[in-house]
Amino acid sequence: MLTLNPNEIGTQKTHQYLLGAIGPRPIAFASTIDKDGIRNLSPFSFFNVFSANPPILIFSPARSGRTGETKNTFDNVKEVPEVVINIVNYNIVQQMSLSSSPYPKGVDEFVKAGLTPVSSETIKPFRVKESPVQFECKVNQIVELGQNGGAGNLIICEVLRIHIQDDILDANGLIDQHKIDLVSRMGGNWYCRANSESMFEIEKPLTTIGIGVDQIPDYIKNNPILSGNDLGLLASVEKLPSVEEVNNYPRSKKDSIVEAKELIEKGEIHNAWKVLLAR
């Protein structure tokens, strides 16, 4: 295993390893305005949601790794502490990328990227009409993490309004994860698209308490045929099948571990346990 000390490899290498390993990262397409009313639009992948009550989003426009200078977005929110965080989907990913070009201060990225500015209801910065979800935010706090190149600046934002395009909603009025077609950042020039080919569901154990991997017998736990994910699924059951259930389950001529693996892949976890316990 490669082991590195960030203090020894420098900012550029550290940045590359961080972004290569931590992803996919959601993108905050941040719309701000300076004290003279000049618009700015720029994407940031150091971004996420951190609270629902109050609704808090945080993104970080880091200082330039080459010059140490701050981004226009950072300068703007210090002058006018408001921002629209527009969500990026596949339909606007190329325009979003274009807006990240190092245009000088005063250049309107809405115009350069061919995106449509829409007035916000509660704040001065404009929303991106083409974005599937737009969050109007006030800036509650700015945390500067350093003064050197690569240092982040946490922009802690409270959501005041949420605007959602109708065509990405499901029958219950919630955001359909297939319709929104989100994109995210990976390392280097790579992006990730969250479509039906890349998404999968795992039921959250909100009300159930699994038995845990430690309760799986060693002959099962240590078998190389079963993966860590297989063991995780087996350990998620709340109780094991009864002796009667095990005895009544039809036998096959297959190896029990192999048969259990097939049942796990079909989602039949309880039946997989019946096979494993019937050896």
Query: Is residue 129 within 8 Å of residue 117, measured between CB atoms?
Result: yes
Which amino acid, one-letter code, is at 260? Answer: A
pLDDT at 123: 98
Q: Tell me the per-residue pLDDT of 67-109, one tens digit each, with 9 for 90 and over.
A: 778 889 999 999 999 999 999 999 999 999 999 998 888 899 9
Domains in the chain, CATH or no CATH each: 6-193 (2.30.110.10), 213-277 (no CATH)
Which amino acid, one-letter code, is at 219? Answer: Y
pLDDT at 176: 96
pLDDT at 151: 87
pLDDT at 207: 81
Which amino acid, one-letter code, is at 29? Answer: F
**pLDDT less than 70: residues of the chain:** none
The reported pTM is 0.88
Q: Is 193 helix (H, G, I), strand (E, B) or coil?
A: strand
- What are the counts of helices (DSSP H) followed by strands (DSSP E) for the chain? 10, 11
pLDDT at 261: 95
- Tokens encoding 31: 């719309």
- Tokens encoding 10: 């420098």
Phi, psi of 177 (to 5 degrees): -65, -20
| Angle separating helix axes 269-277 and 256-265, nearest 10 degrees | 170
Query: Distance between CA atoms of 82 and 110, rounded to whole angstroms?
Result: 17
pLDDT at 254: 87
* Residues 6+ positions from 96 with CB-CB distance below 8 Å: 27, 29, 43, 88, 113
Kindly give the pairing relationship between strand 28-33 and strand 82-87: antiparallel
